[in-house]
């Protein structure tokens, strides 16, 4: 049942967001969307405001470091839609020098998590 809902959501997002999503995968009962940094604010805004999505609950932002990769950092955004009872993870990759646009305009609660991601990993955020 959950897998079917996530597959439906992935298809819907692919239809609505198209080339703003560079990849989508379902694992461990969650949908992960791969997004380029330049599109993160638009994608988060859509996920929050779209009547079919309503991912209004911002859970957190965290970072993952893969030093062997050229774009070594993953910045992960975790959202919850109480309406659908579904979670989604949005992933952006970046390096030490390329900033990610701040999500604080969409989710004010992102402020602390962006600061933590900067403090722990050195990931830069613009507009923060």
Give per-residue pLDDT as tens, 21-66: 999 999 888 899 999 999 999 999 999 999 999 999 999 999 999 9
Rounded to whole angstroms, how far apart are CA atoms 105 and 40? 11
- What pLDDT, in 10s, does the model give residues 58-101? 999 999 999 999 999 999 999 999 999 999 999 999 999 999 99
Statement: residue 1 has pLDDT above 70? no
Q: How many CB atoms lie within 10 A of CB 119?
A: 10
């Amino acid at each position: 049942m959950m897998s079917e809902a996530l597959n439906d959501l992935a298809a819907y997002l692919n239809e609505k967001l198209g080339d703003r999503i560079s990849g989508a995968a379902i694992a461990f009962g969650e949908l992960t969307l791969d997004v380029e940094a330049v599109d993160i604010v638009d994608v988060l805004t859509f996920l929050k405001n779209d009547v079919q999505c309503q991912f209004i609950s911002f859970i957190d932002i965290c970072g993952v470091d893969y030093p062997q990769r050229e774009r070594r950092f993953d910045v992960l955004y975790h959202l919850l839609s109480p309406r659908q009872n579904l979670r989604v993870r949005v992933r952006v990759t970046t390096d030490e020098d390329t900033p990610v646009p701040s999500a604080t305009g969409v989710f004010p609660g992102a402020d602390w998590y962006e600061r933590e991601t900067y403090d722990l990993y050195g990931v830069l955020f613009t507009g923060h």
